Chain A
Amino acid sequence: MREVSAQVSAEKSKAERRHLHHEADVVIIGGGVVGCAIAVALGRQGRSVILLERSLKEPDRIVGELLQPGGCEALRKLGMEDCLEGIDAATVKGYQVIYHGAGVHIPYPPNAEQNTKENAEGRAFHHGRFIQKLREAVKRTPNVTIFETTATDLVRNGWTGQVLGVEAQTQGQKDYYFGHLTVVADGYASKFRKGNLQNQPIVKSKFFALELIDADMPNPGHGHVVISDNPPVLLYQIGSHETRALIDIPENLPSASVKNGGVKGHLRNVVIHDLPKSVQPSFEKALDNGSLRSMPNSFLPPTTNKVPGLLIVGDALNMRHPLTGGGMTVAFNDAVLLAELLSPENVPHFGDTGLILKQLSTFHWRRKHTSSVINILAMALYALFAANDPQLKVLQLGCFRYFCRGGPYVDEPVGLLAGIIHHPLILFYHFFAVAFYSIWILLSNSKASHLPIAILQSFAVFYKACVVIFPFIFAELRR
């Protein structure tokens, strides 16, 4: 009984320190996907947490709309699965890949880790609604206080360089928040990478987005990937009536040049003809009505957090092409892993900055089981799906045919993509299986007289496959 009351009074004094002195064990910058998840996880472990968010209004964005089965599973591990309820989320049972008009069905396999025969499911939804649910979960969590404020700078110990917290602006007034650990979770356009991360994001294309109403999808309950001579298009339902269309447009795409009517011209003249007939009317309507929005597609390989007192997570730390919808899945898996590595059993006191740094180094390597797979897969698949040279086209065709074979040829690749298979070697195996299958198709389809050329071509294809995947693998192996 006395212990309970002592705990209550300790919690009270911690709450007082958060409100009065703006001080906690952890200060998290960003009340988005990963920020909320970490706030809930650490708050429930009894840590004193301050969560800073620029605007607590429902965000309206075109990212973070698809949660892979592996992400749903991580959310469940965090005890936050109820955040998917009551937001009119659409169930995602797998993919429908449409290659030059021909379709292949790629359902999610059952999650082998759960000993179930039921196929895994993902969820797609309006980003803003989900975020509000996450924030509600934070508000219900003990030991966490949310402040609506804009983080402007990190506070550092001028002697040791340790990060001590955050300078902020609250309604135009200077403000400050201090903690043993500062978590930077402010998303893709993070203000705090410079000087703290070795890598900076690389952007080579953009997703342009439309919201289709009551689109007639060829395979409802599935994400649709449209592959053609043009860069890929994604279609997935995000509500009872709404379907998101994401159109990849690389930098300097000729058909999207100003002369050709810009992006809208490209969509109207080129993209619409690649889409399934049934979708075209709602697409056209959305083009006529809605405003076109866009997001950069960034690549940012992860590196170890080495600045004492600082942890960078989420899109601020690591990004991959959103083609596979892996971002939130990585984020929630990271939150699960961090909750374990930073638990009171492993780190009794957050003031032990050296121990936290050690745990963050462990974090960097252990997260690879999930994140590396999703990162490499996203980048490699994008290279194939947006194929713009003959070798890549060979690989693209090979990939499609490989999927058409069904069984393990799709279950494992889509299991990797779904974040329910956590083995980088399986990805490596399938990638080169696709490469060799592509070469076999190339050779078997060529006339006997063209065989010597085809053999030469196959070396080029193999070389291309290596050039595509190895840089992404090496990027993952960096400290």
Chain B
Amino acid sequence: MAAAVDASFTSPAANADMGSSVTNSSGIVGTILEGMNGWTIAITLFAMLVIYDQLKYIYNKGTIAGPSFKIPFMGPFLQSVNPKMEEYIAKWNSGALSCVSVFHKFVVIASTRDMARKVFNSPSFVKPCVVDIAHKLLRPTNWVFMDGKAHVEYRKGLNGLFTRKALELYLPGQEEVYDQYFARFVELSRENAGKPAPFMAEFREAMCAVSCRTFVGHYMPDEAIKKVADDYYMITAALELVNFPVILPFTKPWYGKKAADMVLDEFAKCAAKSKVRMAAGGDVTCILDGWVKSMIESKIYREKVEKGIEVPSEEKPSMVLRDFTDFEISQTLFTFLFASQDATSSACTWLFQVMADRPEVLDKVREENLAVRNGDRSKRFDMDMLDRMAYTRAVVKEILRYRPPVIMVPYIAKQDFPVTENYTVPKGSMVIPSVYPALHDPEVYPEPDTFDPERWITGDAEKQAKNWLVFGTGPHYCLGQTYAQLNLMAMIGKASIELDWQHQITPLSEKIKVFATIFPQDDCPLVFSKRP
């Protein structure tokens, strides 16, 4: 107690010194601080951030093409909300590499064939990011975001699901869906008193139903397929190149996320059901079944090996898989739908439009499809039949070249990426190889803006493998490319012999709308009727 009292009296002088040193310290800093208030601080900070944002953009831009300045912070965000084909084409024409900056993202666009290929084939520098929001919709753990060895391994496990033998198993399911939807197309036109109506949305639903049937068979009830097809629109609508950094309620990304969660839930349910059905010895009717079956076979094999039982090499599964959880399976199936839905809907819409506008091409398709069925229109399609449809195949390839559904594929730079001698893409930037210019290169495909299936038969289009970037290239090339082409062939072939359809040509029919993939701006007004 005494000590404490003493202490308070020991340093009166020291306390006094302290006080005087504070009051005397008004130097330059003090003068500046005196003239400051909250507003001026805020405005100054803001101005500094704007300048930083501009300088950073100009620094990142370096030698490549792009606007000299960016709109503070958001850049051409509003433009990317409503993307226009002409703007993309102008961008591609501005240089082999060009750039923009939207919010926090610096975006480099690679337009020429060789520059695009370079990006596709540089897995050590870039990895796919699909689009900005894809991580949130597909979940960051999704296999499409995997990189390097992990990605290669995962992909190997999926390869078996897309082999010819596997694809053949899914054909009956696909044809069932086409039966259903072709009848619906005719019915819709009849209800509309035979007048043309936009069919783009119908095609989207039909393609979604075909995809779901192919991926998960009958595990998904019809009402759920309808719901997924309906709500998928919101997922596509959310797929802007760059989004506002957080998901705000009642915005497109918010609805998209909700729809994505619903789809993930539906697929997880399918996965759980398939596991039970396949364990009970069910036959493979869809991609999911095929995958689950190889998991079961792998498990049996692993257990035998663990117990030290000798397994003959011919009984060893071609790929020994681990068990995947319902959610993992669901995420992967979602990527299949994600990859197929917009792209096949786009191709399907253009196919119906272009066939209607070019009756001579449609006649040839029809002729070929009758021939491979030996004149029997009711014959169900099979792999052998599809193999013999040379002309139909050319039509599908040409539509994919003429109107490539996916015009560009966003990647992200994992590290500084020296894409040319003169330019290095900064780490963290988005790098977007474009495929449209390569597919419309007049030197490779003469008269590139003409739809001409003959170039695949009598011409040399088939040899131009380097320019055929419709399904990408490199380690992330499209896993489902064979499936997609067979599906489109089967669809248009079946339609040609069962349906007649007329296209109402409008001034917007050949104008391209970008909605994740590309569509005619008038949404393709058509009338369907049953072929006599």
Contact = CB atoms under 8 A, between A and B. Distances in A.
A7 to B, nearest CB: 15
A155 B277 CA distance: 10
A351 to B, nearest CB: 6
B224 A159 contact: no
Interface in A215-239: none
Nearest to B221: A23
B264 A159 contact: yes
Interface in A166-183: 167, 173-176, 178, 180
A21 interface: yes
Nearest to A160: B265
A157 interface: yes
A162 interface: yes
A255 B111 CA distance: 96
Interface in B242-295: 264-265, 268-269, 271-273, 276-277, 279-281
Nearest to B218: A21
B53 interface: no
B223 interface: yes
Contacts of A367: none
Interface stretch (B193-201, B323-331, B357-365, B374-382): B323-331
Contact of B272 (A17, A155, A175): A155
Nearest to A350: B223
Given A157-B326, A158-B326, A176 B273 contact: yes
Looking at A158, A176, A349, the one whose CB has the most chain B CB atoms below 10 A away is A158
A349 B222 CA distance: 12
A412 B402 CA distance: 84
Interface in B85-135: none
Nearest to B220: A23
Given A176-B276, A176-B277, A351-B224, A158 B218 contact: no
Interface in B318-350: 325-327, 330
A447 to B, nearest CB: 74
A90 interface: no
A176 B278 CA distance: 10
Contacts of B327: 158-159
B268 A157 contact: yes
B273 A165 contact: yes
Given A159-B264, A159-B326, A351 B221 contact: yes
A157 B280 contact: no
Contacts of A23: 218, 221
Interface residues of A, number: 22
A23 B219 CA distance: 8
A254 B219 CA distance: 58
B147 to A, nearest CB: 24
Nearest to B219: A178
Contacts of A157: 265, 268-269, 272, 326
Contacts of A162: 265, 269
Contact of A175 (B264, B273, B280, B326): B280
A167 B218 contact: no
Contact of B279 (A21, A156, A174): A174
A174 to B, nearest CB: 4
Contacts of B273: 155, 164-165, 176, 178
A174 B330 CA distance: 24
B276 A167 contact: yes
A173 B272 contact: no
A159 B268 contact: yes
Interface in A330-388: 349, 351
A479 B325 CA distance: 32
B277 A159 contact: no
Nearest to A349: B223
B325 A158 contact: yes
B330 A159 contact: yes
A158 B223 contact: no
A155 B272 CA distance: 7
A160 B281 contact: no
Nearest to A309: B269
Nearest to A174: B280
Contacts of B265: 157, 159-160, 162
Nearest to A24: B221
Looking at B219, B223, B280, B281, the one whose CB has the most chain A CB atoms below 10 A away is B280
Given A164-B273, A351-B227, 8 more contacts: A17-B221, A23-B218, A155-B276, A158-B325, A162-B265, A175-B280, A176-B273, A176-B276
21 contacts: A17-B218, A17-B221, A155-B272, A156-B272, A157-B268, A158-B268, A158-B271, A158-B325, A158-B327, A159-B325, A160-B268, A162-B265, A162-B269, A164-B269, A165-B273, A173-B280, A173-B281, A174-B280, A175-B280, A351-B223, A351-B224
Interface of B: 218-219, 221, 223-224, 227, 264-265, 268-269, 271-273, 276-277, 279-281, 325-327, 330
